[in-house]
Amino acid sequence: MAGRKRRKHRLLSETFKDDKRVSTKENDEQDHHESWSILPSELLELIISRLTLKDNIRTSSVCKKWLSVALSVRKVNKPPWLMYFPKLGHLFEFYDPSKRKTYSLELPQLHGCRICYNKDGWLLLYKPRTQRVLFFNPFTREMIKLPRFEMTYQIVAFSNSPKSQNCILFTVKHVSPTVVAISTCSPNATEWTTVNYHNRLPFVSSIWNKLVFCNGLFYCLSLTGWLGVYDPIEHTWSIRIVPPPRCPDNFFVKNWWKGKFMAENKGDIFVIYTCYSENPIIYKLDQENKEWVEMKTLEGVTLFASFLSSHARTDLLGMMRNCVYFSKVRFYGKRCISYSLDHKRYYPRKQCHDWGEQDPFESIWVDPPDDVSALES
């Protein structure tokens, strides 16, 4: 009898402990959920404000409080606008691909200027008659003059806004098959600096090359697909041992170099190859393995390609994500030609464009103004 009582007491004791452990676990889980639900709104705003658009939308489905906070801090990027250069006069047109709307703006300041590049809302201009180089913001009309410099058949780019202290202008010019002349300048400089560099690998520099600034370096894609890199801090120039992107033979048709574009996004470099009869091919530079990798998806990134400068955007709403937008508008200014990697087709349908037949200097993608109301009046 005594043994039975001891076993009974032991079983009751174990049952009580198990119930206590289960109750404690449930209480811990409840406390965990309550700890998140009672977060101060200021702290919740700080956390959610650092999320991407995709994660912000997911967060908003948790509860009403999180929905309210997520909407209050949700940031949606604006796509760039396509700026068209008039053949006569000073009336420039700007096309917004998200609203499919065109704005007009008189810019007499651009008379006699050649637009060379665009970044961070600033146009880089060149006046051939006076050899004047200058920055110009088309929406604020602010202008920054630079030292005079003769630009003939060469490409030019700059690192960031000319209002920044570390803004650098960069241009490369072909001297011989083994030599290039690199010129640099800054907004506060009194003259340009030019140095000749020798190429260890074949590198043909021409106006058809592409330039981007990425991770503190200028990357220059040559006509034949080789990649030159200039370090503005160390003042060094080298040709990366990265084989050119592999494209089908039918891509190399007449004027194929006009349909080649390059853009940078958060440390990644993308190259777009197009052909009139084929879908475009997009490559991303694998810095570690020193190769171009063909991309089947842009993982939400949107590329905006134009001859003078191309751009990338993330956190765009709607169907603009994972697409390439080209600098050509169809249907009387209502639809911009684009290619969707999700659907593997052009929009509008059958609107693949022959870039060999287009004037590459007729348009450029630019950052839109913060306030559009002045253009709508």
Tell me what pLDDT residue 6 has.
59
CA distance linking residue 276 with residue 248, whole number of Å: 13
Cβ atoms within 10 A of the Cβ of 298, count?
Answer: 21
Sign of the Cα pseudo-torsion (155, 251, 271, 299, in order): positive
Reading the block at residue 172, the tokens are 């490369």
CA distance linking residue 62 with residue 59, whole number of Å: 6
Q: Are 328 and 281 in contact (CB under 8 A)?
A: no
Cβ atoms within 10 A of the Cβ of 171, count?
Answer: 25
Reading the block at residue 7, the tokens are 């076993």
Tell me what pLDDT residue 22 has.
46
CA distance linking residue 110 with residue 113, whole number of Å: 5
CA distance linking residue 107 with residue 377, whole number of Å: 16
Amino acid letter for position 291: E
Kindly report whether the global pTM for this prediction surpasses the value 0.75: yes
Tell me what pLDDT residue 47 has.
75
Torsion of CA 285, 290, 293, 297, to 10 degrees: -40
pLDDT digit string (tens) for the chain, length 377 residues: 555 555 555 655 555 455 555 454 455 545 444 556 677 766 776 776 667 666 766 777 777 777 776 666 566 678 999 999 888 889 999 999 988 899 999 999 999 899 999 999 999 999 999 999 999 999 999 999 999 999 877 789 999 999 998 999 999 988 887 889 999 999 999 999 999 998 877 777 777 889 999 999 999 998 888 899 999 999 999 988 888 887 776 666 666 667 789 999 999 999 998 877 788 899 999 999 999 999 999 988 999 999 899 999 987 877 888 999 998 887 666 788 899 999 999 888 766 666 766 777 789 999 999 888 777 76
CA distance linking residue 172 with residue 197, whole number of Å: 10
Phi, psi angle pair for 175, to nearest 5°: -110, -50
How is residue 181 annotated by DSSP?
A: E
Tell me what pLDDT residue 32 has.
46
